[in-house]
């Protein structure tokens, strides 16, 4: 036990050999996975998409009450329409028929789960820009501002390989920057 504590640090060559080992490459790329592992991974992603979609479908509708209680009518009404439509998308994803998982279909469904918060972010940003918000309204606006980060953090729930995670993260980050740019800059809500 004591010998393991005082083992020499690995050399750079050992670290590079370990990082380029087949096991490590399997964490980066899905192409080399066995069919059984691929199927189980896709089933796990799909099951989590269904669960998250069902929960978000319900919570999206409940959030309308918070918007009504804290925001002015012109703001909350537009957000309520977007929330109802978002809930329809989420519930559709949760209840869609389950088929034999195909990678492109499952990843497209995951993209849909991640796009909805980005749309909500864009709609909220558009509705709240130019309004001075105080108290609970400002707190609610801050929660809307966190949607891109929440979507990004949500990626950790899914058993994705590194390349898939990086691609989704770049898409989410790019979408957030594009929304900010299109709506007039980077000053926030």
Q: What φ, ψ does residue 102 adopt, rounded to 5°?
A: -115, 135
Q: Do residues 18 and 24 lie in contact, with contact meaning Cβ atoms separated by under 8 Å?
A: yes
Q: State pLDDT tens for residues 107-143.
A: 889 889 988 998 998 899 888 888 888 899 999 888 8
| Predicted structure pTM score | 0.76
Closest by Cα among 99, 123, 84 to 50: 99
CA distance 140 to 63: 10
CA distance 145 to 167: 22
Q: State pLDDT tens for residues 29-79.
A: 666 766 777 788 889 889 899 999 999 999 999 999 999 999 999 999 999
CA distance 141 to 120: 12
Give the alpha-carbon dihedral of 115, 141, 81, 181, to 10 degrees.
Answer: -50
* Structure token digits, residue 67: 């918007």
């Amino acid at each position: 036990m004591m010998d393991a504590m005082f083992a020499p640090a690995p050399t750079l060559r050992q670290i590079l050999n370990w990082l380029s080992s087949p096991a490590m490459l399997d964490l980066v790329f899905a192409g080399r996975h066995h069919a059984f592992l691929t199927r189980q991974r896709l089933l796990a992603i799909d099951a989590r998409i269904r669960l998250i979609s069902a929960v978000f479908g319900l919570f999206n509708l409940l959030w309308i009450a918070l918007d009504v209680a804290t925001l002015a009518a012109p703001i909350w009404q537009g957000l309520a329409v977007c929330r109802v439509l978002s809930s329809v998308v989420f519930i559709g994803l949760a209840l869609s028929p389950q088929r034999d998982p195909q990678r492109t279909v499952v990843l497209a469904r995951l993209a849909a789960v991640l796009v909805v918060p980005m749309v909500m972010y864009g709609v909220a940003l558009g509705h709240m820009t130019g309004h001075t918000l105080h108290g609970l309204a400002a707190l609610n606006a801050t929660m809307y501002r966190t949607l891109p980060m929440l979507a990004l953090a949500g990626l950790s729930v899914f058993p994705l390989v590194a390349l898939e995670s990086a691609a989704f993260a770049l898409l989410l980050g790019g979408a957030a920057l594009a929304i900010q740019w299109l709506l007039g800059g980077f000053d926030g809500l």
